[in-house]
C-alpha cells in the first residue's frame, strides 16, 4: 500500500499548526498585518511573530483573533494545544514533558529555584537567559510559562512541592520582579490542588541536597521520576530506582515546615523585599 498522506498537508505539530492556521485565516479574510493591528488594537508586529511561530500570544489576543475570523472556540483550543506542544522544548526534556501532561499527580523538590510550573515570566527569563538569546529565549520562556496551565482549572492534578529555603533567598536582580515571584508562590499555596512546603536551612543535611527531583504518577499506576542537577537531567522509569527516591523524598518532607507554616515563611520573605517607591 502507498504511504498514507495527510488530509490537509499542514503540520501535525500543534505550535507549527497554530501559526499555519493564523496565516491561512488572515489570507482568507484578505487582511494585511497592518490592518489586523488597526482593527484589533495590537501592534502589527505581534501578529507577524505569531504567524512565524516566534510567539503564541496571549489568550486575550487569540480570543480577539477568533472573533475577528469567526473561528470561535476552535482557535483558542488550538492555541492551548500549542502551549503544551512538547516539540517546543529541548529534545532531552520532551519525553518528560509528555508524561507531565498525562500525570494524575505530581511531587517536586526544588533545591535552588522555583519549579518551572510555579515560575513567573520574569523569573523564567532571567533563569534561561544564560543559555538562550533573542527569539529562542522568548520561545523557551513562553514554553515554560505555558506549563503553568497544567495546574489551573477544576480538574488540575494534585501538586506537592518542597522548596528549599535557598529558593526563597536567591533573589532576582529586579526587586519588583522578585516580589512578584514570591507573591505568585504565596498565591499558588492557596490553591486547593497545590501543597507547598518550605524546607528551612535548620533542617540540616538531607538526601536531596544536590538535585531537583520530580515524581509523576501516571494513568497506568506507575510513578516515574526525573532528576536534574546543574548540567544534566535523567528520566527514571525503573521501579527499583524510583522507590528509593520516593522514600528519600518522604524523609525530606518530614523535615519541612507544614503548609501553614510555609505560607507564613513566604510572607516573611515578602516583608523583607523593599517596595518600589510610588511615582
- Residue 102 CB contacts under 8 Å (≥ 6 apart), including other chains: 216, 218, 219
Residues 6+ apart with CB under 8 A from 271: none
Q: Where residue 9 falls among pLDDT bands split at 50, 70, 90?
A: low
In angstroms, the CA 221 to CA 216 distance is 10
Residue 1's pLDDT is 37
How far from chain centre, in Å, is Cα 247? Answer: 26
Global pTM value: 0.70
Do residues 67 and 113 share a domain?
A: no
Q: Which of 12-26, 137-151, 189-203, 231-245 has the highest mean pLDDT?
A: 189-203
Write out the residue range of the structural domain in which residue 258 sits: 91-272
| Same domain (yes/no): 198, 220 | yes
The per-residue pLDDT for range 47-86, each reduced to its tens digit, is 887 788 777 777 778 888 888 988 867 787 777 777 665 5
User: Which CATH number fits the domain that encloses residue 34?
Assistant: 1.10.260
Check whether residue 56 and residue 159 sit in a common domain. Answer: no
Residues of the chain with pLDDT > 70, as a percent, come to 89
Number of independent structural domains in the chain: 2
Residues 75 and 117 in one domain: no
Q: How confident is the model at residue 12 (pLDDT cuts 50, 70, 90)?
A: low
- Residue 204 falls in which region: left (phi positive, over 0), alpha (psi -120 to 50) or beta: left
Q: Which residues contact 178 (CB under 8 A, 6 or more apart)?
A: 171, 172, 273
Buried b (16+ CB within 10 A) or exposed e, 141-162: bbbbbbbbebbeeeeebebbbb
Provide the 10 A C-beta neighbour count for residue 233.
15
In a domain, 50, yes or no: yes
Amino acid at each position: 500500500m502507498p504511504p498514507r498522506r495527510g488530509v490537509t498537508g499542514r503540520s501535525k505539530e500543534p505550535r507549527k499548526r497554530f501559526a499555519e492556521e493564523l496565516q491561512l485565516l488572515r489570507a482568507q479574510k484578505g487582511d494585511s498585518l497592518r490592518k489586523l493591528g488597526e482593527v484589533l488594537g495590537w501592534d502589527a508586529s505581534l501578529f507577524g511573530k505569531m504567524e512565524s511561530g516566534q510567539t503564541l500570544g496571549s489568550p486575550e489576543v487569540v480570543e480577539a483573533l477568533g472573533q475577528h475570523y469567526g473561528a470561535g472556540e476552535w482557535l483558542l483550543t488550538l492555541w492551548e494545544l500549542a502551549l503544551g506542544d512538547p516539540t517546543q522544548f529541548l529534545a532531552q526534556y520532551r519525553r518528560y514533558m509528555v508524561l507531565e501532561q498525562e500525570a494524575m499527580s505530581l511531587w517536586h523538590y526544588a533545591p535552588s529555584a522555583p519549579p518551572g510550573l510555579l515560575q513567573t515570566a520574569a523569573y523564567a527569563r532571567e533563569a534561561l537567559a544564560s543559555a538562550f538569546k533573542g527569539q529562542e529565549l522568548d520561545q523557551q520562556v513562553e514554553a515554560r510559562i505555558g506549563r503553568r496551565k497544567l495546574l489551573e482549572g477544576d480538574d488540575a492534578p494534585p501538586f506537592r512541592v518542597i522548596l528549599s529555603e535557598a529558593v526563597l533567598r536567591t533573589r532576582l536582580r529586579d526587586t519588583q520582579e522578585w516580589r512578584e515571584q514570591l507573591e505568585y508562590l504565596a498565591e499558588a499555596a492557596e490553591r486547593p490542588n497545590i501543597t507547598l512546603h518550605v524546607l528551612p536551612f535548620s533542617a540540616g543535611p538531607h538526601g536531596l541536597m544536590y538535585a531537583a527531583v520530580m515524581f509523576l504518577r501516571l494513568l497506568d499506576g506507575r510513578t516515574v521520576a526525573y532528576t536534574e542537577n546543574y548540567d544534566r537531567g535523567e528520566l527514571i522509569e525503573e521501579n527499583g530506582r524510583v522507590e528509593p527516591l520516593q522514600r528519600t523524598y518522604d524523609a525530606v518532607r518530614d523535615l519541612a515546615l507544614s503548609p501553614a507554616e510555609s505560607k507564613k515563611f513566604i510572607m516573611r520573605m515578602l516583608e523583607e523585599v523593599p517596595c518600589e517607591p510610588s511615582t
